Structure 1
Amino acid sequence: MTAQGQSTAGSSPVYTVFRHVRYENLVAGVSGGVLSNLALHPLDLVKIRFAVNDGLELRPKYKGIVHCLTTIWKIDGLRGLYQGVTPNVWGAGLSWGLYFFFYNAIKSYKTEGRTERLEAAEYLISAAEAGAMTLCITNPLWVTKTRLMLQYDVVSPSQRQYKGMMDALVKIYKFEGVRGLYKGFVPGLIGTSHGALQFMAYELLKVKYNTHINRLPDAQLSTVEYILVAATSKIFAVAATYPYQVVRARLQDQHNFYDGVLDVIKRTWRKEGIIGFYKGIVPNLIRVTPACCITFLVYENVSHFLLALKGEEKQV
């Protein structure tokens, strides 16, 4: 047995995993998540409003994406288009940062001592594990974001239920407890399949593309190539998993009450049919596709830059 083998055998699994943790992945992921969500937050607002549109009288009626944006702008101006931006940016930054952080640590741990690349199923499982760990930390921020985005027109801003992110977090915890902060957690957990499918597709597309043009599998792509690979993987993941986002948004909505995931599914199906589970998918695709491209582009370049400063190669 080699000295390395003895060291590995004598180390706890947790310690072994943490040897693969790199702060560069966290910093790069946070940078990408924050920039993309700041740029495209208004479209996320539109998606949430369409996703919860279940016919309640109190909800504004929108004829489409442009009408929704212009209506919000006329009533509340730029501030209205950025309702919920604080928890969204915090949530997106932390989510992407932690996701890349956990994902790369798990993936590096699984490839230690191996010469062959991970299989598609291993990429899928690694991404799902990273997504579940991230959601445990960030779910309260997503509940807060949804609540802030669903504060409709009132006589004055002072009458709003929540004054901001911290006020919402405190009030949700005060009146609904920890359970309130983790509303939508189950569909969110199911939704880790979205990230898992996206990361699996992203990893495989990069390798297949490099191999196809006779480059090393781990070679860095150009800006255009990263954008195309990221967009393709995102569209694939959204098409496969969007209904969970509708279910999660409805569970987190303060204007309607459901007994749980099954209750949301039953009521949505009964009242709206299959279309109900895809409400908001168009503004979602318009938002998440460029957001994903920005996030992955920033992440890849920042992580390559930070690792180059340390004289290390980025692991794929």
Structure 2
Amino acid sequence: MFSSLFSRAMCQNNAPATSQNEAPQQMGLVKSLVAGRTIAAAAANVGGTAEGYSCEFGSPHYFALCGLGGVLSCGITHTAIVPLDLVKCRIQVDPAKYKNVFHGFKVTMAEGGVRSLGLGWAPTFFGYSAQGLCKFGFYEVFKVLYTDIIGEEAAFLYRTSLYLAASASAEFFADIALSPMEAAKVKMQTSPGYASTLRVAWPKIYAEEGVNGFYKSLVPLWMRQIPYTMMKFACFERTVELLYKFVVPKPRSECSKSEQLVVTFAAGYIAGVFCAIVSHPADTVVSKLNQEKGSTALEAAKKLGMAGLWKGLMPRIVMIGTLTALQWFIYDAFKVAMRMPRPPPPEMPESLKKRLQAEGKL
């Protein structure tokens, strides 16, 4: 399946140039995705002159670098906010003991000291690094693949739906990679005394619940992460487009690297706020489900109640808003550093423009 997917998405260029100064014609999926548009490297100089590409857009090297950027953006950011994530999870599963964020930090430090705030960092790092690899890498693959399926005109007209479909597909696989480590992380953080290290937690979960212990929360994880990721990518892509259109006083190709990264961070934070809201109830269920052995997602939701499902929302908005902004910042900075090619914000294809003009709609 994966080899077939990548063979369709590779788009390596074997067509010869027609003249010395003419670039070889792009074939396959890349042609439909960026037809009529100039691909600019992420590290474009002011004035729109690219520094040169480190890889060909749509090649296996390109997708591999996108995956590596995802590893860095997700692994680093999630590990950095482990203390806040720890308190958030404890508020969700035991609101009587951990009344709010500040009280949660106070109780946690009183019971285990400052060091206890880092509980669960190892499964967080390894789990979200694996998730980032699949999330960002497959998103780029599916975005190109689905564009080829529906055609360049439909891809422009329904680009929000394209972003939603590509991100949902990518997150489906990303959560399968994340689930075992997420189970260990939540168990460590919400069951005091259960295990203090990943080396202890994994064998213990397996001994008690078998393989099911690592995947029993996969469905609620999909319920949490797929809407989150759909919002994360679609909202980010469209916010970037709107910022360059209405806020930034010049085209992206004329912006410096630092100016581009500021736009990336701003769009990422806006997307993160919406991400936190749409995915929070499922996040609470995941925390409760991994705390209690033998419980189902429906049972956990009923036990929490409507009010309980929204416990810890404010710290999660702060956490996810900052997290999402930093992830996009790191991912885009990685593209800048690696001199990766990147299409500019979507433009109407010439064929669609001519058709609309002929119909008097433009």
TM-score, with length taken from structure 1: 0.82
Q: Distance in 1 between matches of 2:69 and 2:6?
A: 24
The verdict on how the C-alpha distance between 1:47 and 1:69 changes in structure 2, with shifts beyond 3 A counting, is: same
The structure-2 alpha-carbon separation of the partners of 1:261 and 1:74, relative to structure 1 and needing over 3 Å to count, comes to closer
User: 1:177 offset after TM fit, Å?
Assistant: 1.3
CA shift digits 1:86-107 (9 cap, x unpaired): 1111122221232101101111
Provide closer, same or farther for how the CA distance between residues 13 and 88 of structure 1 changes in structure 2, counting only shifts above 3 A.
Answer: closer
Q: Any gaps of 5 or more consecutive residues in structure 2?
A: 12-57, 345-362
CA contact (8 A) 1:226 1:297 kept: yes
**Match in the other structure for 2:44:** none
Query: Which deviations, in whole Å up to 9, do the C-alpha atoms of 1:34-84 show, x marking residues without a partner?
Result: 3222332110001100111266xxxxx133211211222233222200111
**Structure 1 unpaired stretches of 5+:** 1-10, 56-60, 153-159
- Structure 1 residue 14, shift from structure 2 partner: 5.0
Cα-to-partner distance string for 1:103-149 (whole Å, 9 max, x where unaligned): 01111223347365361111101101100110111100100000111
Find the counterpart in structure 1 of residue 147 from structure 2: 111
CA distance in 2, matches of 1:18, 1:182: 32
Q: 1:223 aligns with which of 261, 281, 286?
A: 261
**For the residues of structure 2 that align with 1:206 and 1:164, how far apart are their CA atoms?**
40
Q: Shift of the alpha carbon at 1:257? A: 4.3
Which residue number in structure 2 is paired with residue 24 of structure 1? 65
Indicate whether 1:134 and 2:126 are aligned. no
Task: Give the alignment partner of residue 217 of structure 2, picking from 179, 184, 188.
Answer: 184
Maintained 8 Å contact 2:101/2:315:
yes
**Number of matched residues?**
284
- The Cα shift of 1:28 comes to 1.3
Query: Given that residues 193 and 241 in structure 1 are in contact (C-alpha distance below 8 angstroms), is that contact kept between their aligned partners in structure 2?
Result: yes
Partner of 1:63: 99
CA contact (8 A) 1:87 1:141 kept: yes
- Partners of 1:314 and 1:73 lie apart in 2 by 45
In structure 1, distance between residues paired with 2:95 and 2:115 = 25
Taking structure 1 as reference, are residues 208 and 245 closer, same or farther at Cα in structure 2, changes over 3 Å only? same
Aligned to 1:241: 279
* Larger gyration radius, structure 1 or structure 2: 2
Q: Is the 8 A contact 1:35 1:294 kept in 2?
A: no
Is the contact made by 1:127 and 1:195 (CA closer than 8 Å) also made in structure 2? yes
Contact kept, 8 Å, 2:127 with 2:178, in 1: the verdict is: yes
Partner residue in 2 for 1:123: 163
The offset of 1:199, in angstroms, is 0.9
What is the RMSD of the two structures over their aligned residues, measured on CA atoms? 2.4
Q: Say which SS state the counterpart of residue 242 (structure 1) adopts.
A: helix
Alignment TM-score, normalising by the size of structure 2: 0.72
CA contact (8 A) 2:88 2:315 kept: yes
Q: In the alignment, is the contact (CA less than 8 A) between 2:191 and 2:291 conserved in 1?
A: no
Cα deviation 1:166-190 (Å, max 9, x = unaligned): 3212221222111111021111112
Distance verdict in 2 for CA 1:36–1:206, change over 3 Å: same
Q: Are residue 304 (structure 1) and residue 336 (structure 2) matched? A: yes
Paired residue for 2:236? 202
